Amino acid sequence: MSTELQKPQTAVTAPSGHRMPGRESADRKQVTQGRWAYTLLTPTLVLLAVVIIYPVVNAIIMSFQKDSGLDPATGFFSEGGPAGVDNYTHWILQQCGGAACPPGTLGAQFWNSMATTFFFTIVTVALETVLGFWMAVIMARTFRGRSLIRAAVLVPWAIPTAVTAKLWFFIFAFEGIANKLFNTQILWTGSEWPAKWAIVISDVWKTTPFMALLILAGLQLIPDEVYEAAKVDGASAWQRFTQITLPLVKPALMVAILFRVLDALRMYDLPAIMTAGANNTSTLSILVVDQIRQGFNTAAALSTITFIVIFLVAFIFVRFLGANAVAAAGTGKAK
Amino acid sequence: MATATATPTRHTAEPAVRKRPYDWGQFRTYISAAIILIWCLAPFYWMIVTAFRDVGYTFDNTPFFNHVSLDNFRTVFDESLGNHFGLNLVNSLFVAAVTTIVALVVGVFAAYALARLNFRFKFAVMGFILGASMFPGVALVTPLFQLFTNIGWMGTYQALIIPNISFVLPLTVYTLTSFFREMPWELEESARIDGCTQGQAFRKVILPLAAPATFTTAILAFIAAWNEFLIASQLSNDATRTVTVAIAYFAGAQAHQEPYTAVMAAGTIVTIPLVILVLVFQRKIVAGLTAGAVK
């Protein structure tokens, strides 16, 4: 951006005829700006390298090492040393020392946890997108008390997830308000599907506001004239929604969904506090944490797998949906 | 629906007919708004009601304040039950404050470079920082657990602050960059024309201008660090435990019985300052949250 601003300056300072020196000084400016930029960026990049890249590389190295300790399959003491890909096959093939992991051990839970993680991700993000869109459309309207609503949606967002978990744990207690209100007798956190839905509802409550605010920001970028013109042309409310609102809000929506998907894939706090991962509500993150105290290296393999899964999802998202979003943004601006 | 208010000027002939759909639409908006309001605030309200309810009436389920008592707040701070909530609050405050300050001091320079300067691999650097903010915390916990065990850092403050920086710093850089892109940079150009160097222009013109954006980012960073649970639950000990972890593993008067009312009291203590902060700076926080997403 700033080079565009500087170009006229160099054009003014460089006398016409001496074109080479002018270009040279522009190049030099570019170089000094680049150097200045990296000087400013260095602390951040170094810090991130120390707190992220170093641990991740460390985890990858660890994941190819054996855990020392009693081998649960053979009963012999294992010394550690290189493990090859054993830690990975332990999880992915659910192999414990050459045989299938016995049910109940952490090794036997990998695919269940994977399925649970994706269940939570897909269901919560779908619900949050629909609800968030609805909230955003309401908040975009002009009415008395609009600022009250906009303030209110920030309340669930601001409450720490740990507190949210405990709050909904209380709401979903057997004698709690949820059962009272709906006149049901469900042991919400005591069996698989009620527990899963309790977690989903808590997550939707906590994070829909974030989604709604991102979508609202996208909605506010659409000029009113576009709607006016469509109305004059006789477009119905539904047509206006599908032909104008959806395509124009798509870039903001895609960013919001991407953020939420990646956040949901690493879900830990809610299930960890509400059910401790019991009744098949254990996510990949919970499984990693459970494994840490049974063996760092096996846990490191699982955390690496988790990281790769999240990375792949992000990559697919940006590659296929992101490209569309960028195109939509381009056409949106062109029109 | 807002546009309906403007239409009567065009259709002056039959105002009575035009008025009907307008009222109906507005009515539906209010109903929807009321549903959003109740959905967002009812659980929060329920937490406060329960926090002030006598423990003997935990499951009273009356939707308004009754059997009001402050006992739950006493339980929260009752050391004889093994609760050290005062200490937990101080720990959280300290960890979140140090994380925020480090992230801001370091991040403000990076954000300036990303928003203002042209350099090679800018896109890659931005992508790396964005990717870092999406990074799963659990991928850090395992190696750090071992590392901190080996060097004797388990349960220290730095063991909590360092991993927190991994997600607070990218958030800070990302938010600040979007704010900086929107600032009136012509003033920097003017300052430079008046003879300031780029560094001087940054300090004397841009930094004061950037203060509100920086402040908003600080609030977002602080809330993110304050709410952190996963890392703190694994890498802290009794002395450095933060409030989120303390609330998750709260001890009540009776062992083996979930101390619901006391937990709600603790939740209220932790949440009320955040809610006040959020309501006071509502506009700025919404701007900060959405700054990066729509541009």
- pLDDT (tens digit per residue) in A91-100: 877 777 667 7
Confidence of residue A144 (pLDDT cuts 50, 70, 90): confident
**B292 φ/ψ angles, rounded to the nearest 5 degrees:** -80, -25
The answer as to whether B3 is a domain residue is no
Do the chains contact at A36 and B29, CB–CB below 8 Å? no
- Asked if B46 and A167 come within 8 Å (Cβ–Cβ), the reply is yes
Per-residue model confidence as pLDDT tens digits over B233-265: 888 888 889 999 998 888 666 666 778 888 999
pLDDT, residue A28, reads 67
Domain hosting residue B48, numbered range: 25-69
Pair (B146, B38) in one structural domain: no
For residue A4, pLDDT beyond 70: no
Task: Tell me if B144 and A251 make a contact (CB, 8 A cut-off).
Answer: no
Per-residue pLDDT reduced to its tens digit, A95-115: 776 677 777 777 778 888 999
Q: Assess whether B98 and B149 both reside in one domain.
A: yes
Q: Which of B50, B142, B164 is best to mutate for the A interface (most A CBs within 10 A)?
A: B142
Query: Do residue B111 and residue B199 come from a single domain?
Result: yes
- The answer to whether A169 and B55 are in contact (CB under 8 A) is no
Judged by a CB distance cut-off of 8 A, whether residue A315 touches chain B is: no
**Of B12, B44, B69, which marks where a domain is finished?**
B69
B2: in domain: no
Give the model confidence (pLDDT) of A229-242 as tens digits. Answer: 888 888 888 888 88
B36 and B131, same domain (yes or no): no
ipTM attached to this prediction: 0.84
Is residue A8 over pLDDT 70? no
Residue B139 has pLDDT above 50, yes or no: yes
Average pLDDT of chain A to the nearest whole number:
80
Which chain B residues contact residue A34 at CB under 8 A? 117-120
pLDDT above 90 covers what percent of chain A?
Answer: 16
What pLDDT shows up at residue A122? Answer: 94
Task: Quote the minimal CA–CA distance from B78 to chain A in Å.
Answer: 19
Residue A52 confidence (pLDDT): 87
A143 shares contact with chain B (CB less than 8 Å): yes
Do B168 and B120 share a structural domain?
yes
Q: Confirm or reject contact between A142 and chain B (CB < 8 A).
A: yes
pLDDT at A11 (0 to 100): 40
| Residue A224 confidence (pLDDT) above 50 | yes
A267 interaction partners in chain B (CB closer than 8 Å): none
Mean pLDDT of A202-213: 92
Q: Is residue B265 part of a domain?
A: yes
Tell me, yes or no, whether B19 lies in a domain: no
Q: Please name the residue of chain B whose CA is at the shortest distance from the CA of residue A315.
A: B131
pLDDT in tens, A15-52: 444 444 445 566 666 677 788 888 888 888 898 888 88
Report whether pLDDT(B266) > 70: yes
Residues of B in contact with A173 (CB under 8 A): 59, 258, 260
pLDDT, mean of residues A199-216: 92
The partner residue sitting opposite B169, judged by closest CB among A47, A135, A152, is A47
What percent of chain A stands above pLDDT 70? 81
Q: Are residues B34 and B110 in the same domain?
A: no
Q: Of A58-62, A164-168, A320-324, where does the model show the most confidence?
A: A164-168
H/E/C letters for each residue in chain A?
Answer: CHHHHHHHHHHHHCCCCCHHHHHHHHHHHHHHHHHHHHHHHHHHHHHHHHHHHHHHHHHHHHHCECCCEECCCCCCEECCCECCCHHHHHHHCCEECCEECCCCCHHHHHHHHHHHHHHHHHHHHHHHHHHHHHHHHHHHCCCCCHHHHHHHCHHHHHCCHHHHHHHHHHHCCCCCHHHHHCCCCCCCCCCHHHHHHHHHHHHHHHHHHHHHHHHHHHHCCCCHHHHHHHHHCCCCHHHHHHHHHHHHHHHHHHHHHHHHHHHHHCCCHHHHHHCCCCCCCCCHHHHHHHHHCCCHHHHHHHHHHHHHHHHHHHHHHHHHHHHHHHHHHHHHHHC
Is residue B13 predicted with pLDDT exceeding 50?
A: no
Residue type, A266: R
Say whether B117 and A307 touch across the interface (CB within 8 A). no
- Please give the tally of structural domains in chain B: 2
Computed over every residue of chain B, the mean pLDDT equals 82
User: How confident is the model at residue A94, as a pLDDT?
Assistant: 74
Does the CB of A183 have a partner CB in chain B at under 8 Å? Answer: no
pLDDT at A120: 94
pLDDT of the residue at A238: 86
Examine the fold and report which residue of B69, B87, B102 is the final residue of a domain before the chain moves on.
Answer: B69
Pair (B189, B175) in one structural domain? yes
Would you say residue B6 lies in a domain?
A: no
- Position A124 scores a pLDDT of 95
Query: Of A142, A154, A202, A213, which to mutate for an interface test with B (greatest number of B Cβ within 10 Å)?
Result: A154
Chain A closest CA to B99's CA: distance in Å?
A: 12
B260 plus B123 within the same structural domain:
yes
pLDDT single digits (tens) B90-113 = 999 999 999 999 999 999 889 888
Q: Would you call B286 and A150 a contact, using CB atoms and an 8 Å cutoff?
A: yes
Residues on chain A touching B139 (C-beta within 8 angstroms)? 55-56, 59, 303-304, 306-307
Residue B295 belongs to some domain of the structure: no
Q: Looking at the structure, do residues B135 and B188 belong to the same domain, yes or no?
A: yes
Residue A164 reports pLDDT greater than 90: yes
How confident is the model over B278-291, as pLDDT tens digits?
Answer: 888 888 888 888 77
Close Cβ partners of B229 (under 8 Å, ≥ 6 residues apart) = A160, A161, A162, A268, A269, A272, A273, B244, B245, B248
What is the arithmetic mean of pLDDT over A271-293? 87
Mutate which of A1, A134, A144, A159 to test chain B, going by most B C-beta atoms within 10 A? Answer: A159
Q: What is the pLDDT of residues B185-217, one digit of tens each?
A: 788 788 888 888 878 887 888 778 888 888 889
**Between A13 and B218, where is the model more confident?**
B218
Question: What is the per-residue pLDDT for B17?
Answer: 46
- Position with higher pLDDT, B49 vs B183: B49
Say whether pLDDT at A13 is over 70.
no
Both B219 and B129 in one domain: the answer is: yes
Q: For position A91, what pLDDT does the model report?
A: 80
Which CATH number belongs to the domain containing residue B146 in this structure?
1.10.3720.10
B270 and B168 part of one domain: yes
Nearest to A167 by CA among A194, A208, A124, A205: A205
Distance from CA of A74 to the nearest CA of B (A): 25
Neighboring chain A residues of B136 at a CB cutoff of 8 Å: 265-266, 285, 303, 306-307, 310
**C-alpha pair distances (Å), B108 with each of A204, A221, B22, B113:** 33, 27, 48, 9
The pLDDT, as a whole number, for residue A327 is 40
Q: Is residue B252 part of a domain?
A: yes
Q: Does A227 reach chain B within 8 Å, measured CB to CB?
A: yes
Last residue of a domain, one of B17, B48, B69: B69
pLDDT of residue A333: 31
Predicted confidence at residue B20, as pLDDT, reads 52
- Verify that B93 and B64 share a domain, yes or no: no
Least confident of A240-254, A314-328, B95-109, B281-295: A314-328
Q: Give the count of Cβ contacts less than 8 A between chain A and B.
A: 296
Residue of B3, B23, B30, B40 to mutate for A, most A C-beta atoms under 10 A: B40
